[in-house]
Structure 1
Amino acid sequence: MTSRLTTPLDSCAARTRHWHLAPPGSDSGVGGPAAAPTGAVTGPGAHRSRLRALASSAHFVTHLGDVLFDAASSGGEVLRFELYGGPGPVAVIFEPSYIKSVVTADEAIAPSATHESPLRPIVGGESVLTSLGRRHRQQRALLMPRFHGRSVASYQQSIDDATETALRSWPVGRPVPLAIIAQQITLDVIMAGIFGLPEPSAMTPAETAMRIELLRLLRFSTTPIATATQLMNARREDPVGLLKLFLRRIDRRILAVIDERRTAGDAGARDDILALLLEARTEDGAPLSDSEIRDELITLLLAGHETTANTVAWTFERLTRFPQVYGRAREAVRSGDDDYLEALLNESMRSRPVVPAIARHLLEPWDFGDDRVPDGVTALISILLLHHRDDLYPQPFDFRPERFVGVRPGPHELMPFGGGNRRCLGAALAMAELRTVVGELLRRVDLQTTDAPGEAPRHRNVTMIPKAGGRVTARSIQR
């Protein structure tokens, strides 16, 4: 069954609401009992100019949440779009059983679409993010032990030290983007885990130069020109333009550190991820190439840095707009109520998932209830819509950590780290950082609450971040 909505994609801009401004207590209209038949929002037609079609598809990408909430509230559990200059036909799904059928399917029939990610020109084609099939499984098996159990526990001192440093430098009485403060923390933690970098004063010249270039790239990624650079590199395998120049400098610095470590020959005595990659061997017994190691390092750096930092920023962007919840959270942390802190983090990731969607290519026809999607379609799994279903999370625009107290959500009902065999490798490390950083900020920083509208989400690469960086003002800080 496929019924069609008559509204073309290019008119969505004129009527989409801003979902992030929905008032508390309201329903989303997503996943409610009165859902209409499945809808299909059509893409470019013969009567539309190429420029208009491109503008429509760009609006879809840059206002993804607004477009999807508008379409989903019109009814249906499968939304269809045709994106000009993009992946072509797209089926958006956000019903748990439909999601499960895709993310748990054999990669032979539903492979990940991450090899077409906007991050592909940056992280390369040999990383755990962009690889597929057997190679991806081998990479996960190699890296997984460094992100679980005792390895995560070994990062705790780095997390504590980085948090303490950030708190000492936080200005009082002046609005600051919390994402910037959180990035200082998460960057130090992930660089310690990946490269085993010591205190700056103890770094080698090669390590210092690499850190400077990486910081430069991360600062550049937040500028408007970076957005234009991203569009220029969309759907390319290799970088061009300004991005190519930036990456060339970074690659030179990373390769210098790799060469320095190879020459030192002490990888076996170290426990950082670079040492692990230097010691790794392929099935043929050959060491990994420098380009393979570089791709893994860049992937882990970016994935382990930005997502966690922006989760911290979103958490306090929400808390400062819900004063009663903020007060309750501070009391919980001071009394050692770890269950409430865990529920708070789940609610933050539910209401503002930093990765709002993941994708799979459907290589066979797929049945979603009564709707059959033909092969060749990209299934876009909307984590954002899933997390705002009225039937799963009543009054989804409320910020209520209590909904997760004593509740363990299903793996296809709460998906801040994705799902299936592509679930985020660093989920355990991210949660350890979030518990420490959010807990310390609640315990030691008194933030000014506000009745200002919620910050608009900004879509950058594959992430959804607060447009103003989660701007907050500290009234006092316990140093």
Structure 2
Amino acid sequence: MTRTMTAPPTLAVPHWHLAPPGARSGIGEAADDGPAAPVALVSGRRLRPLGAYSDSLRFVTHQGDTLFAAAARSAGTPGGDALHFDLAGGPGPAVVLFDPAHIKTLMTADESVAPSATHQSPLAPIVGRQSVLTSIGERHKQQRALLLPRFHGRSVANYQAGIERATEDGLAAWPVGKPVALADIAQRITLDVIMSAVFGLPHPDEASDAERRMRKEILRLLRLSTTPVATLSQVVNMRYEDPVGLLKLILSRVDRTIYRVLSERRAQGEAGLRDDILSLLLSARDTEGNPLSDTEIRDELMTLVLAGHETTANTVAWTFERLTRHPGVYRTARRAAANDDEAYLEALLNESMRVRPVVPIVARELLAPFDFSGSTVGPDVIALVSILLLHHRDDLYPDPFAFAPERFLGVRVNPYELMPFGGGIRRCLGAPLAMAELRTVVGTILRRVELRTHESPAEKPRHRNVTMIPGRGGVVIADSIT
């Protein structure tokens, strides 16, 4: 579609995350003809269609700035709601979508013409080829059907005690009066929760030596993934299904601990079966009645543990990174938590996930031609749904750079306009558990921790694998904890 934009002179900022309230993104229809101006990014260089490896690396490391700049330049032009790139060293030709109609068309398409492209994602060499995340077609349906009940209804309710216990432990270890990266605290909480769900551990102290070693190696993997070397390793591994180089070395340490846990549980026989996901996988059979191999189970466990806690932990960190920079919203949120105002808490979480989606892009592989904005795209093109751009459209979210939870009060959310957990048949199967954790962890921190507010610049987003995390981990200072 073509839109004519009428707006005041451009408001220039160095990065998208520093755009002030009142600024427009320049994406979609203008909210009004008032004084707000669309944002332009001043980066010292003009972004060109990506083709060189250096530009592809920039896409990986400065994805948000790259996309906001390209979207703003194309606004109002024919086909401007679909951005075309050539990602050298990665998927090659790609189209970036951020129009809800285009996204719905893609997400509701049959997998035979638009399957998930997660086998090309930076996570693929980490979680493996047999994971529910990377599989497609009938295999994905079978895996999802097996695992989905463990993340819905009664199962989520059964995890609540573990969520509350892990939250209490996290608060007990929180130093008062000192800067602390909230992502680290939240990560310990959410990792304990997912380890309990996956391995049936009522408390980390009750874990076996093999399980403790596995937890330690997973945390080590996550810490290393934030380093510049990890970013370079991600680019190197783009063209490989199996890990190579440094990533292979690091994963081999994690894998040894996982296989040791599997061996331990298999040796326990019936006594080793618990009400957890590992026991479910150990007792599962394929269509021919054969048990799952250790490699298959490893891939599923790696997916569930990594995806099941990292995104939730960083959503907690982003939420308070935003709140501490908006004192008025923070005070309102604390009152809402004290009064058990679930509607406001839900709106707060939606707004946090809107302005800082931890998974900013999801991908589909176009095996057939698709029409986007009057132009035909595909086949053999990767369609990247930019959740970040979608969440900052002027026509969907007036004043898109403002942090305003009230915009979600009394609103029924359109699943193709707010997509923190992806969409379609590939929507995150752990979303209900993640939301249960977020309500408990964020609500508890709001009620019991008095955080120091300030006017520091927003933390720079850092891209890690497929996630967008706070550059400093969401640093906050607790003045008191009750």
Normalised by the length of structure 1, the TM-score is 0.91
1:71-220 paired onto structure 2 within 5 Å: 71-74=70-73, 75=75, 76-220=80-224
1:283-302 paired onto structure 2 within 5 Å: 283-302=287-306
Corresponding residue for residue 423 of structure 2: 419
1:283-432 paired onto structure 2 within 5 Å: 283-432=287-436
Please report how far the alpha carbon of residue 216 of structure 1 lies from its aligned counterpart in structure 2 after TM superposition: 2.3
Q: Which amino acid aligns with 2:49?
A: T
Corresponding residue for residue 42 of structure 1: 49
Corresponding residue for residue 59 of structure 1: 58
Please report how far the alpha carbon of residue 273 of structure 1 lies from its aligned counterpart in structure 2 after TM superposition: 0.4
Distance in 2 (alpha carbons) for counterparts of 1:260 and 1:383:
41
Contact 1:354 1:416 (8 Å CA) reproduced: yes
Of the structure 1 ranges 456-465 and 202-211, higher mean CA displacement relative to structure 2 is found in: 202-211
Corresponding residue for residue 7 of structure 1: none
Please report how far the alpha carbon of residue 269 of structure 1 lies from its aligned counterpart in structure 2 after TM superposition: 4.9
Corresponding residue for residue 16 of structure 2: 19
Distance in 1 (alpha carbons) for counterparts of 2:65 and 2:205:
47
Contact 1:117 1:235 (8 Å CA) reproduced: no
Distance in 2 (alpha carbons) for counterparts of 1:207 and 1:61:
33
Q: Are 2:473 and 1:469 equivalent residues in the alignment?
A: yes
Could you list the per-position Cα deviations for residues 192-225 of structure 1 after superposition, in whole angstroms to 9, with x for gaps in the alignment? 1111124344322322322222232223223333
Q: Secondary structure at the match of 1:234?
A: helix
Could you list the per-position Cα deviations for residues 356-412 of structure 1 after superposition, in whole angstroms to 9, with x for gaps in the alignment? 011111111111132221311111100000000011000000000000011111010
Please report how far the alpha carbon of residue 33 of structure 1 lies from its aligned counterpart in structure 2 after TM superposition: 5.1
Could you list the per-position Cα deviations for residues 329-361 of structure 1 after superposition, in whole angstroms to 9, with x for gaps in the alignment? 000110111000000000000000000011111
Q: Are 2:450 and 1:451 equivalent residues in the alignment?
A: no
Distance in 2 (alpha carbons) for counterparts of 1:200 and 1:63:
37
Contact 1:16 1:66 (8 Å CA) reproduced: no
Q: Which amino acid aligns with 2:383?
A: A
Could you list the per-position Cα deviations for residues 204-247 of structure 1 after superposition, in whole angstroms to 9, with x for gaps in the alignment? 23223222222322232233332233233223111122222222
1:431-446 paired onto structure 2 within 5 Å: 431-446=435-450
Q: Are 2:228 and 1:224 equivalent residues in the alignment?
A: yes
Q: Which amino acid aligns with 2:24?
A: D
- Say how many residue pairs are matched: 453
Could you list the per-position Cα deviations for residues 131-152 of structure 1 after superposition, in whole angstroms to 9, with x for gaps in the alignment? 1111011000000000000101
Q: Which amino acid aligns with 2:170?
A: A
Contact 1:17 1:70 (8 Å CA) reproduced: no
Structure 1 alignment gaps of length 5 or more: 3-14, 35-39, 45-52
Distance in 2 (alpha carbons) for counterparts of 1:191 and 1:432:
16
Normalised by the length of structure 2, the TM-score is 0.91
Q: Are 2:68 and 1:69 equivalent residues in the alignment?
A: yes
Q: Secondary structure at the match of 1:194?
A: helix
Structure 1 segments (4+ residues) deviating >6 Å: none
Counterpart pick for 1:240 among 222, 241, 244: 244
Structure 2 alignment gaps of length 5 or more: 3-11, 32-46
Could you list the per-position Cα deviations for residues 1-37 of structure 1 after superposition, in whole angstroms to 9, with x for gaps in the alignment? 99xxxxxxxxxxxx98411000111111111259xxx
